[in-house]
Amino acid sequence: MEINYNSLMKVIKYNTKKLLTNHTLVMGGFESFHNGHVKLINEAKKTKRSIALMMIKDPISVPSHETKVYAQLETRLI
């Protein structure tokens, strides 16, 4: 794993109306941090941009990918 867990992390609450520019956004519930999350973050690091983790406040309330589309493909590819 390539993540340095000793590095300083800041929690930043963004105004939802403010657009994140020049960031790589990694979104997830992060109820339990697993290898899939590590892979996402390592891929985001390759972009050489700041990484913004978007944590879903109540992951249980997110529609299942089997029943509903949570985010359109075009949105996920940005």
pLDDT of residue 8: 47
How many domains, in total, are found in the chain? 1
- Look up the pTM and report it: 0.53
Residue bearing tokens 């609450």: 13
| 3-state SS, residue 5 | coil
**Domain around 33:** 1-78
Find, among 50, 44, 54, the residue nearest to 13 by Cα: 54
4-33 residue pLDDT tens: 545 545 566 666 555 567 788 888 877 777
Does residue 1 have a pLDDT over 60? no
DSSP state of 65: T
Higher pLDDT, 69 or 41: 41
Q: What is the pLDDT of residues 42-71, one digit of tens each?
A: 999 999 988 888 887 777 766 665 666 666
Dist CA 22 CA 31 (whole Å) = 27
